[in-house]
Chains A and B, each alone.
Chain A
């Protein structure tokens, strides 16, 4: 059964690119435009094998979202990749402290996304 990836980002164009890339690679994709929607997806999707999340989002930002993800038993151990920009080193630290597995720096080539996912997805 195909692995499912949850992409959370308030930018529709980025979600579209990521979703397209992942689907081409054979993944199933669910989406959220902010942390709150991301959590809703976690609750309703039959499975989520990996989460890719932006950090700067309205309603619920990425760091808070990651903390929530880690506090839920079903997603405690789910790999989480943060989408960061190069100037956000401190955010990366915060993210890791909150429980993020890894990160991917924007702008990224779709190939790099797939490579990074391969690193954290068993």
Chain B
């Protein structure tokens, strides 16, 4: 990871992978991203929370696939052959996150990141680290660690 001090901003610059869900733009720390996969066969898991779509075969390892749309309570979309799965690793656990499309890897200076405004109930702000403007758009930067550890909590607290 490169950390450059730029004269203009005088702060750290981190790399983010940006992706879209519907009309919204999001970003996550590139360090967590292991790879990006095209749509894969997903096997249903019984009694899992709504946002856990199931598991998939990642080169012989069976990993869970999380639907971020469902996680953010957005309306479901039929995932077709253009959906993308971002494979992330948090700690020792690997998971796949289904998104609409992947945009770009961008360098975002820390000083460009502003705290998240209150979006209301639709989006839990616990796992948002901030927002940044990318061109004219506003990208919501996600704390993947918290998002996926949420997973555990939600799941174990009774999934029936």
Do A and B touch directly, given a CB cutoff of 8 Å in the complex? no
Residues of B within 8 A of A (CB): none
